[in-house]
A and B are shown apart, each in its own frame.
Chain A
Amino acid sequence: MTPIEIAEKLCTLCQVCVKKCPFDALSMQDGKIVVNEKCTACGICVRTCPEKAMSLRNLPKKAIAKDLKDYKGVWVFIEHSDCKIASVSFELLGEGRKLADKLGVELSAVLLGDATERMAAESASYGADTVLVMNDPLLKNYRTQPYLAGIVQLVQKYKPEIFLFGATTMGRDLAGAVATKLRTGLTADCTALDIEEQTKFLKQTRPAFGGNIMATILTKNHRPQMATVRPRVMKAPLKDAGKKAAIINETIVVSAELLPTMIVDFILQAEQNAPLEDAQIIVSGGKGMGSAKNFDMLHAFASAIGGTVAGSRKASEAGWISAAMQVGQTGHTVRPRIYFACGISGAIQHVVGMQTSDIIIAINKDPHAPIFSVANYGIVGDVLNIIPQMTKIFNEGSGNNESH
């Protein structure tokens, strides 16, 4: 059985579907359109078939429809290290709150660890109605196996309908294992979540194909509906220290001898060694910088704001930055929170490597430079004046802008 049904009577073999399939999953063989293993049932062929000859096969109704109703509530996995909750977990509590309100159900924080009291209270102050806690020395540091066992134990007992994780190394490591154990659907790296009004399904929207397309995905017949959510996409709610939550303590049933891994050591990464893809603030220079010496300005600015210096292909070819720090089609694709494009004209080859940055600030003499058409802020002026000016502002202000 293939996911796509083709009404052969209607099919004119025009092969529009073959061309439109993003996954290379359709081909013409022996005078017929055939669907191969690469098909993801995305339905693009169904939508683009000019003859309306294609349809998606209905999902098998095997899933236990009556059981779905037993699953209630929205859960958020609280990620932490060194007793500090990851900011993505707060963002998820904010998003989970909205979903729970739309469904009229409770929002629960799921907290596994050792000595978790303070973090439980903090989860409450960010909006959780309930905090499910598992305290055990085995859970002190994150490891896949005990966390997997603990979470599965909780899900089987309390049956949430939605379960959200941060799309971090920890969240992805855990969610992938949990969803497999529970044999349920998991959508990775979501950037938007919503509830479908009639069916109450969780609408999970995520980028695919290196950000070229977005897909909205549903888990119709399995529960919980699981998703990992990209950090810094959702907004964290304001903290309300007065808000309290019901704390439910559970004991994990797992024995230490059975654990397959042991953490030997952890080496905290020095800031300046962070690879370009992970940099959250990037100061990037192009041909307009004029010389290697002028790049010193960018380094000074970057160190004032805790940024990483990168450059365009022109800058890399001129030897002003190393090839490892080149952004664009032939270099790295970056997605920082702020991208400063200094003296970069904005050739498409460069833009494809940085267009998904949260904020793009472009500085260029030429008011017609294409970079301005993708920049959130465009400063028309000489980068060699503006950068030192900004560096000065930040160096002066560094004392009093740290408080929050």
Chain B
Amino acid sequence: MNRIEFDVVVVGAGPAGITAAYLLAKEGLKVALIERGEFPGAKNVMGGQFYSYPMRDIIPEFWEAAPLERAVSEKQLWLLSRESKIGFSYKNPQFGAPPYNAFTVLRAKFDRWYAEKARQAGVVIIPETLVTGIIKKGTQVIGVKTGRENGEIYADVVVAADGVNSLLSKYAGLHGEIESRNVALAVKEIIELPQGVIEDRFQLEKGQGVTIEFMGEFLKGMVGTGFIYTNKTTLSVGIGCLLSDWVDNGVSPYDLIEDLKSHPVVRPLLQKGTVKEYLAHLIPEGGYRSLPPLYTDGMLVTGDAAMLVNGLHQEGSNLAIMSGKFAAETILEARKAGDYSARTLGAYKKKLDESFVIKDLKKYSNAMPLLENNRHFFSTYPRLLSDAADEFIRVDGVPKKKKQRMILKGIFKRRGIIGIIKDALSAWRIVK
């Protein structure tokens, strides 16, 4: 039997993998893209924000053809106490016009469309196939094994784009099991509502959308956020928290979503909607400190597999696409040099380091440990703020000056002045 040989094997048809495969096939390379789902996107449940950059460099004006939900023109942050909220919002109608800033997407549809582009460029997409191991010659990765009969497939270089908890990275010995404190569990529901109702309720221009993030007591002290994203005729409603927190607190994700959905200020947004789907997904949010080695002889690691997620800004797919692009560039250079060893492939890490991808992750490298050790950001402060606002706004005959004093007293009682100063310093360190 003849060996199955390609120039490049990409494992995982998500944004990182499709980008790498697409760009390489466009340069005339023979590329196989292996996907474990029935079709690209079948296994994908990402939260739903998709940034226009850098996708617009890869497929110019992709918004003309891609299945997108809404152009995000507004971002809101709500701090929830038990029964009230304080909201912050930034709205920019320019975000609702080309070249756009971000879209909400349903990844099952989007990935399918993107993969079709890759297929048209000549990528051989191999669906419903699980990669069960790598093939090595010495230290050099020269192919992968799949769960199918006669399932070995050989290539000059392998791109691991197989998502969080990357099996390929494990097979290659790049990292072991991920620590549960470096990964968030996101659960979400897709709630159906008529298009017009969504636009009225969230005060949206036609085709535009909003993302709302929630923090506050409903999180029961866990590190994470809740969210609502507006899609065309659905809302994605969910919560993402560190996996270790879910485990330690023994909270059921389903119950927590129910709590969020029944919150007095959230409930009206969801009224009369019907739940279509319930999904759960792991997101590698360990940030810079949790980055595994990103290359070895004959293999590059991209996207979630490389833990390239900016948890604080909820950027993931754009980093994935960026890494897929860098992987493709690096492979083309390696091909020219005729050398696929780590020495040449190291250029990939350098490209990432010099780009916003690693720079941003580095900037927030202290964020996760700090936030993890200081849960006041997710529960105490939202509560304090809303109490303060309540006190200040409520007219009940108490003089305003007295109110201010009461507010401050209340705050210091619950967190203490030293604590607040410490927290403020931490917060500064995170964002500086």
Direct contact of A and B (CB under 8 A): yes
Using a CB–CB cutoff of 8 Å, the interface residues on chain A facing chain B are 347-349
Q: Tell me if B275 counts as interface (CB < 8 A to partner A).
A: yes
Q: B171 near A: Cβ within 8 Å?
A: no
> For the complex, what is the distance from the CA of A73 to the CA of B278, rounded to whole Å?
52
B276: chain A residues at CB < 8 Å are 348
What B residues does A348 contact at CB under 8 A? 275-278
Docked complex Cα distance between A347 and B255 (Å): 12
Give the chain B neighbours of A349 by CB distance below 8 A.
278
Q: How far is the CB of B236 from chain A (nearest CB, A)?
A: 16
In the assembled complex, the Cα of A347 lies from the Cα of B278 at a distance in Å of 9
Q: Which residue of A lies closest to B276 (CB)?
A: A348
Whole-angstrom CA separation of A348 from B275 in the bound complex: 8
Q: Which residue of B lies closest to A345 (CB)?
A: B254
CB distance from A278 to the nearest CB of B (A): 28
Instruction: Give Cα A347–Cα B254 distance, bound, in whole angstroms.
Output: 10
Indicate with 1 or 0, residue by residue over B267-294, a CB within 8 angstroms of chain A CB atoms: 0000000011110000000000000000
State the CA gap A348–B191 with chains docked (Å). 12
| Residues of chain B whose beta carbon lies under 8 Å from any beta carbon of chain A | 254, 275-278
Contacts of A347 in B (CB 8 A): 254, 278
Return chain A residues, CB-CB under 8 Å to B254: 347
Distance of B27 from chain A, by nearest CB (Å): 30
CA distance A103 to B276 in the complex (A): 44
A349 to B190, CA, bound (A): 13
Q: Which residue of B lies closest to A348 (CB)?
A: B275
A348 to B254 Cα, complex, angstroms = 12
In order of increasing CB-CB distance, the 4 nearest A-B pairs are A348-B275, A347-B278, A348-B278, A349-B278
Residues of A within 8 A of B275 (CB): 348
Kindly report which residue of chain A lies nearest to residue B274, judged by CB atoms: A348
Distance A349 CA – B276 CA, assembled complex (angstroms): 9
A348 to B278, CA, bound (A): 8
The docked-state distance in angstroms from the alpha carbon of A348 to that of B190 is 12
Write the nearest CB–CB distance from B66 to chain A, whole angstroms: 15
Q: Which residue of B lies closest to A347 (CB)?
A: B278
7 contacts between A and B (CB under 8 A): A347-B254, A347-B278, A348-B275, A348-B276, A348-B277, A348-B278, A349-B278
Q: Which residue of B lies closest to A329 (CB)?
A: B277
Which residues of chain A are within 8 angstroms of B278 by Cβ–Cβ distance? 347-349
CB distance from B106 to the nearest CB of A (A): 14
**What's the Cα separation between A339 and B254 when bound, in Å?**
25
Query: With the chains together, A347 CA to B275 CA distance in Å?
Result: 10
Cα-based distance from A13 to B277 in the complex (angstroms): 31
Distance in angstroms between the alpha carbons of A135 and B277 in the assembled complex: 56
Which residue in chain B gives the minimum CB-CB distance to A368?
Answer: B258
Residues of chain A within 8 A (CB-CB) of B277 are 348
> How far is the CB of A106 from the nearest CB of chain B, in Å?
48
What residue of chain A has the Cβ atom nearest to residue B277's Cβ? A348
In the assembly, what is the distance between CA of A348 and CA of B277, in Å?
A: 8
A319 CB, min distance to chain B CBs, angstroms: 20
Residue of A nearest to B258 (CB): A368
Report the separation of the CA atoms of residues A349 and B278 in the bound assembly, to the nearest whole angstrom: 8
- Please name the residue on chain A nearest to B254 by beta carbon: A347
Question: Shortest CB–CB separation between residue B168 and chain A, in angstroms?
Answer: 26
CB distance from A30 to the nearest CB of B (A): 16
Whole-angstrom distance between the Cβ of A353 and the nearest chain B Cβ? 15
Residue of A nearest to B275 (CB): A348
Closest to B189 in A: A348
- Shortest CB-to-CB span from A348 to chain B, Å, is 6
Shortest distance between the CB of A210 and any CB in chain B (Å): 16
Give Cα A347–Cα B277 distance, bound, in whole angstroms: 10
Q: How far is the CB of A313 from chain B (nearest CB, A)?
A: 12
A370, closest chain B residue (CB):
B275
Q: Bound state CA distance, A244 and B277, in angstroms? A: 57
In the assembled complex, how far is the CB of residue A219 from the closest CB belonging to chain B, in whole angstroms? 36
Please report the C-alpha to C-alpha distance between residue A62 and residue B277 in the assembled complex, in whole angstroms: 48
Cα–Cα, bound, A349→B277 (Å): 8
A346 to chain B, nearest CB (A): 11
C-alpha gap A162/B186 in the complex (Å): 57
A245 smallest CB distance to B (angstroms) = 51
Minimum CB–CB distance for B61 against chain A, Å: 19
> In angstroms, how far is the closest chain A Cβ from the Cβ of B111?
19
Return B255 CB to nearest CB of chain A, in Å: 11
B235 to chain A, nearest CB (A): 16
User: Smallest distance from the beta carbon of A290 to chain B beta carbons, Å?
Assistant: 16
Question: Roughly how many angstroms separate A399 CA and B13 CA in the complex, as a whole number?
Answer: 62
> Smallest distance from the beta carbon of B109 to chain A beta carbons, Å?
12
Please, how many angstroms separate the alpha-carbon atoms of A349 and B275 in the complex?
A: 11
Q: Shortest CB–CB separation between residue A128 and chain B, in angstroms?
A: 46
Q: How far is the CA of A91 from the CA of B195 in the complex (A)?
A: 45
- Closest Cβ of chain B: how far from A364's Cβ, in Å? 15
Cα distance A347–B189 in the bound complex, in angstroms: 12
* Nearest Cβ on chain B to A39's Cβ, whole angstroms: 24
Within the complex, the shortest CB–CB distance from A140 to chain B, in Å, comes to 48
Q: Kindly provide the distance from the CB of A98 to the nearest chain B CB, expressed in whole angstroms.
A: 36
Give the Cβ gap from A57 to chain B, nearest Cβ, in Å: 32
Q: How far is the CB of A292 from chain B (nearest CB, A)?
A: 21
Instruction: For the complex formed, measure the closest distance between the CB of B101 and the CB atoms of chain A, giving whole angstroms.
Output: 27
With the chains together, A349 CA to B254 CA distance in Å?
13
Smallest CB–CB gap between A20 and chain B, Å? 13
Distance in angstroms between the alpha carbons of A337 and B246 in the assembled complex: 40
